[in-house]
Amino acid sequence: MDEMKYECIAEIQGRLDADLIESYLEAHDVDVELVQESLGHTIYPVAIDGLGRVQIFVPKGKALEARQLLKAYQELLVQEPEDKKEG
């Protein structure tokens, strides 16, 4: 049996967040494949984004880099905006 060429680096709740991460990683030259069970995406494609988990796969050779980028991305999300720090 052939060895898998892609590795799952994360599971995200909701397609919107997964799409944003996909764009971020691809902007850093990391190929991304998103895998989501089809029921939640088919029944509520737009109305309810949080339905269903999405797995994020990247080439095995880029997995470490992708995890580091994902960590940096998540840290950016929790940082307090500059205008709120001053007030």
Query: Which pTM value belongs to this model?
Result: 0.76
Q: Give Cβ neighbours of residue 40 (< 8 Å, ≥ 6 apart).
A: 51, 52
Exposure on the CB side of residue 81, measured as CA atoms within 13 A: 3
Angle between helical axes of 63-78 and 15-27 (0-180°, round to 10)? 120
6-80 carries CATH number 1.10.150: no
Please list, in sequence order, all residues whose beta carbon lies within 8 angstroms of the beta carbon of residue 69, skipping any fewer than 6 positions away. 24, 25, 28, 30
| Separation CA 80–CA 39 (nearest Å) | 36
pLDDT tens for each residue of 5-44: 999 999 998 888 999 999 999 999 999 999 987 665 566 5
Task: Report domain extents, the chain.
Answer: 6-80
Of the chain, the percentage scoring pLDDT greater than 90 comes to: 56
